Chains A and B, each alone.
Chain A
């Protein structure tokens, strides 16, 4: 890279003379990082920290968005934790997680391994094709999903009909709505997973495979014994990233199913949003904190799992 070429021409001189003319330069150097971070801190304090503290306080009150808030202590939390709708929203997100994350790891790893082969024909084309869903706007894709999976007029059921199969209520039955939304999420983000995994694969030393091949290890054996252990970090990174994304999932069910049918696609994120539309802000704030705690606990769990094996 450019860095190394510049390096060769500029040999760092001895540091002795710098110490004498300290003051100004040293002070500036000491202050510089704070100045550089200041804009972030300002925006962060104003639009994240302050709202967070506000949310915490709000979560102990009953407030409808107008008038005075009444202090209710832990009532909002108690209400949520004993509320079936809250638990079913978490359950819906958990099911989505199960439908999305394992499938994504398998498809992503398989595609990345195949793409990592330098002799593969058209690999540039595949890489481009796989990333297209990732760069298409979610709302546009959600709209397309509505039409594609329409029970009466959609092309998917049209295709099934042509094969002599009965049509499916993809978005209109509670059994199918979750998998159909999961498919949307999977479709949208797997290309990104492939690219990330590909970068992990490229850091593996090729001599490991050569040695394995000489020992007569099969391709499958090489995948399990070399590739998977060595990209474990990348896999875990993806799992954490997608766990955060799945439990926050909002736009997909909001646009496509509105959380229905029968709340079957009311994800944790959408359930939280619904408090806003019902102007039940105190409960919404409490819900926010429960979700933050859950998401952080899950992330820490995955990070712990990752560390434990190192």
Chain B
């Protein structure tokens, strides 16, 4: 399995780092042999306990997704007749075909892709730049400005929705890419996080570059950016995820089918379902629902599996320490 393969890569990288912290090997040498043996057997039994707990957790975490993807390939009627069974001979892509006819999935994907690329590029460029300014410069108004960044972190998106929507109407931006891209294009969390990451870059490095005649932006671009690459990779994955999954704002600001993002298109399927809860209709819609959800899962899962090492290490590098 692909995930397992990547998983072992991660294991290698942190085994070297974590080996130092392992308490077991160090303490044993000081203990009498019998006690050491007892300890070892206790540790082995706790290893079994750990494995059981973690395995159960894994099943709980993966089962809903696995069930949905497998069921998407079952005949619609079978999904509700025998939810837990799977008969390979009945394998079908009918649900996927039906779903394309029912909801504007293709345009949903296209809109999401456009927003993802443009909004992502803005965030990935300007958030580290602002984080750099907050981490490495002293200037009048810095505390007030950073305070506002933290404030935006706490501000529920939903609070701004009413006036933002009115603003979009005023601009004539309802059902446009600008409306989907610009508000929230520079995420406060991204700035906060980049500041954390860039704070760890030594000042001497920047001073040296400055003495060598490097301009202020040049320092950011040529010194800071290459050094914080792991943090940037983490930010990239988080940004892609946030934009791809964004729901509240797109659902409000897009009213026409052609401008809706994938998540909004998906949610309309659920609305269909509440009207038809009996019999064959229910089965058909359920099949489409699972097919659509499976399709929506795939791009992000691929991105995650490819980048997961950077992602996990990026979070580990940038998050608050205990």
Residues of A whose CB lies within 8 Å of any CB of B are 1-3, 6-7, 10-13, 15, 18, 28-30, 32-34, 36-37, 39-41, 43-44, 47-48, 50-52, 54-55, 58, 107, 110-111, 114-148, 150, 152-155, 158-159, 162, 187, 190-191, 195-196, 198-204, 206, 209-210, 213-214, 219, 230-234, 237, 244, 247-248, 250-251, 254-256, 258, 269, 272-273, 275-276, 281, 284-285, 288-289, 291-292, 295-296, 299
**Known contacts A7-B204, A191-B61; A219/B191 CB under 8 A:** no
5 pairs from A and B in contact (CB 8 Å cutoff):
A28-B216, A50-B163, A135-B304, A153-B79, A200-B322
**Chain A: CB-nearest residue to B294:** A140
B252 at the binding interface (Cβ < 8 Å): yes
**Known contacts A234-B320, A244-B154, A276-B252; A33/B54 CB under 8 A:** no
Apart from A135-B300, A190-B61, what 17 extra A-B contacts exist at CB < 8 Å?
A7-B205, A12-B204, A39-B130, A47-B160, A47-B184, A120-B54, A121-B47, A122-B7, A129-B61, A140-B293, A199-B316, A233-B320, A234-B320, A247-B156, A255-B267, A269-B156, A275-B162
**Known contacts A137-B300, A140-B297, A187-B61; A118/B270 CB under 8 A:** no
- CB neighbours (8 Å) of B160 from chain A are 47-48, 51-52, 55, 288
B155 at the binding interface (Cβ < 8 Å): yes
B245 at the binding interface (Cβ < 8 Å): yes
**Known contacts A10-B205, A250-B158; A132/B61 CB under 8 A:** yes
Contact B320 A110 (CB under 8 A): no
Q: Which of A44, A137, A145, A199 sits near B152, CB closer than 8 Å?
A: A44
- CB neighbours (8 Å) of B311 from chain A are 131
Q: Which of B4, B79, B273, B301 sits near A135, CB closer than 8 Å?
A: B301
B3 at the binding interface (Cβ < 8 Å): yes
Interface residues in B33-50 (C-beta closer than 8 Å to A): 46-47, 50
Interface residues in B131-168 (C-beta closer than 8 Å to A): 132-134, 137, 139, 142, 145, 148-149, 152-167
- What are the 4 tightest A-B residue pairs by CB atom distance, in nearest-first order? A124-B7, A200-B322, A153-B80, A51-B163
Contact A272 B159 (CB under 8 A): yes
| Whole-angstrom CA separation of A200 from B226 in the bound complex | 25
Number of chain B residues close to chain A: CB under 8 A: 131
Contact A40 B162 (CB under 8 A): no
B121 at the binding interface (Cβ < 8 Å): no
Residues of B whose CB lies within 8 Å of any CB of A are 3-4, 6-11, 14-15, 17-24, 26-27, 30, 46-47, 50-51, 53-54, 57-58, 60-62, 64-65, 67-68, 71, 79-80, 82-84, 122, 126-127, 129-130, 132-134, 137, 139, 142, 145, 148-149, 152-167, 182-186, 191, 200-202, 204-205, 207-208, 210-211, 215-217, 220, 226-227, 229, 241, 244-245, 247-248, 252, 262-263, 266-267, 269-270, 273-274, 282-283, 286, 289-290, 292-294, 296-297, 300-301, 304-305, 308, 311-312, 315-316, 319-322
Contact B133 A36 (CB under 8 A): yes
